[in-house]
Structure 1
Amino acid sequence: MRDSAVDRGALEVVVPRGDESIRWLEHGYPSALARWHYHPEIEIHLIRESRGYMMAGDGMVSFSPGQVSLLGSNVPHNWISDLTAGTVISHRDVACQVHPNRIQALARIFPEAGQISALLQRGHQAIVLSGQSAVRVATILTDMGNHRELDRLIDLLEIFRVFVQAPSNEWSTMVTPGYEPDASVDMANRINQVLAYINSHISSQISLNEAAEVVSMSPSAFSRFFKKAAGINFSDMVRRLRISRATRLLVTTDLPIARIRIRSGFGNVANFNRRFKQEMGTTPRAYRQSHRY
């Protein structure tokens, strides 16, 4: 979950090649691109490896390999993988980005593209695909890396078509309607510093007061700031990231559940079991049994 760019600004400047309007990229984790940030371009994003939590606007959902999402213009976002210290994932993320002005111009010429404009409006709530719709977009988006120019445009339109036509049980939104992002550099820097603090203390004591000191704020001001920026309370964020750590250890190791509980920062057995079931819908033991092959 380490973020190597906690001191970088919030705005990502997207620069496609001079003869292209669609930018395709892939990167690993940790990466300077993997941080709480925003950009005016629409982004379609695929996670290929790891598990963790996706943050977008004021929403937060868990992710696993194969997650596909569409993020509207200037919606701040970040994917936080739960990894052991020093672990590097070479090819975690695949994405394509395009400025909404390009799509709006297309819709003015071709009325048939009006459905895409409506989709992009919905994208301000961050759309997450599932099922066969996610599988289809993941395939197109991955193949786009081998394409250029006209073929990439065709790929992009096909991706939009899948999003537009996805059945209601294969898509959901995660940002509260009417959410207004704080697109300041200061906000992003503070969120990234807090995430780095949580990561470095995930197995031990985590204090709201200490987190507030990290970003030079009073505890009360920090509490209000964090809820507005992340959409959940600081304590809820810590709990979710600790549960994420526990799920990874349950699936990828043979450690006793008691040891996993301690490594995930839970000192009390009953509290760990209760919080785990609240978040995952099952007990730690049942989760391990259902996810081991």
Structure 2
Amino acid sequence: MSSPPARPGIPTRPSAPGAESVPGAKADVGDLEVIVPDVGTSVRWWTHGYPDPLARWHHHPEIEFHLIRSGSGQMLAGDRTIDFDAGQVTLMGPHLPHNWLSDLAPGELLPDRDVLCQVLPERFTAASAQLPELAGLRALVDRARRGILLSGASRARAATLLERMGQRDPLGRLAALLELVDVFLSAPDDEAHPIATAGYMPSLDDATAARVNTVLDYVEANLAGEISMTRAAELVALSPSAFSRLFHVTAGITFSELVRRRRIARACHLLRTTDLPVARVCALSGYTNLANFNRRFKDETGTTPSAYRRGDG
């Protein structure tokens, strides 16, 4: 598989207008998500919206095929933070920590944002021992330990399969799962990209998960106001230097980089979906100085806020 493509920047495709609510999923559920299997099937398919208590930094033993139906934002997976837009398809391996932060304005919700298909990898192992045609399943699970991001035609095919899976009975879902596996196995190198860096070892302890979720909640709840690394460190009972190291190792970017990208992502969303003056967008995105906002916006997107709104960027 090839390396992930260069960060695409904030998507310019307009999204549907709506009210936006500051995400703030509670983090007291711990880092391990306990998934109750559906009765009579080895394949679990379901959807949820955003914000949602399930939308948090977490991991689980199941592999997870994941489709983002709507919105844009940043995906945290392993030690990488990558921009996403509607239609993103990924495969998360067992115990690979992940989360998606959507760009929202105050009061907005994204119903049914996520489509998921989850299955225990042990079921793949057992099946492949009996059916040689399924030998590739084990190889896919191993590749998925770093996560896989699809692009191009492979992404489109996988998205269609994930959507249609929800309309099928248990046997039909199993058949769709095998088709989905084939898409990932047969995807050319330039359409299947590993996510986490080579050699990444996830931190799966409860303390790390609780700290990450506390910090993400703090950032999302204060995008329009003051965000301080010192305050973030206090919230998780670490010194600023220890917190800085922990966050960089966990998210793959610095805390200040995450804050900047989340604020510019909110500004892009407001410019696409509202008629608010640029000065008001600046304030709602946490910037107190318009000149500084314009400079940061251009650094991140390559264009000015006004040109971005016109679609000139």
Q: TM-score, normalised by structure 2?
A: 0.87
- Residue 220 of structure 2 corresponds to residue 193 of structure 1: no
Distance change (3 Å), C-alpha of 1:119 and 1:210: same
Residue number in structure 2 paired with 1:100: 121
What is the CA RMSD across the aligned residues, in angstroms?
1.9
Do the aligned residues in 2 keep the contact of 1:13 with 1:39 (CA within 8 Å)? yes
Say which SS state the counterpart of residue 311 (structure 2) adopts.
helix
Say which SS state the counterpart of residue 135 (structure 2) adopts.
helix
For residues 138-157 of structure 1, the aligned pairs below 5 Å read 138-157=159-178
Where is the helix percentage greater, Structure 1 or Structure 2?
1
Residue number in structure 1 paired with 2:67: 46
Residue number in structure 1 paired with 2:256: 235
Do the aligned residues in 1 keep the contact of 2:263 with 2:285 (CA within 8 Å)? yes
Could you tell which deviates more after superposition, 164-173 or 119-128? 164-173
Amino acid of the structure 1 residue aligned with 2:93: G
* Partner deviation per Cα, 1:103-140 (whole Å, 9 max, x = no partner): 12222233333333222222122211122222211111
Residue number in structure 1 paired with 2:201: 180
- Residue 247 of structure 2 corresponds to residue 262 of structure 1: no
Distance (Å, rounded) in 1 between the aligned partners of 2:55 and 2:312: 27
Tell me the matched-pair count: 292
- Residue 45 of structure 2 corresponds to residue 28 of structure 1: no
Q: TM-score, normalised by structure 1?
A: 0.93
Residue number in structure 2 paired with 1:58: 79
Residue number in structure 1 paired with 2:142: 121
Distance (Å, rounded) in 2 between the aligned partners of 1:32 and 1:14: 14
Distance change (3 Å), C-alpha of 1:204 and 1:124: same
Cα displacement (A) at 1:281: 4.0
Residue number in structure 2 paired with 1:160: 181
Amino acid of the structure 1 residue aligned with 2:140: L
Cα displacement (A) at 1:198: 0.8
* Partner deviation per Cα, 1:64-86 (whole Å, 9 max, x = no partner): 11111110010000011122233
Identity across the alignment (%) = 50
Distance change (3 Å), C-alpha of 1:166 and 1:288: farther
- Residue 308 of structure 2 corresponds to residue 287 of structure 1: yes
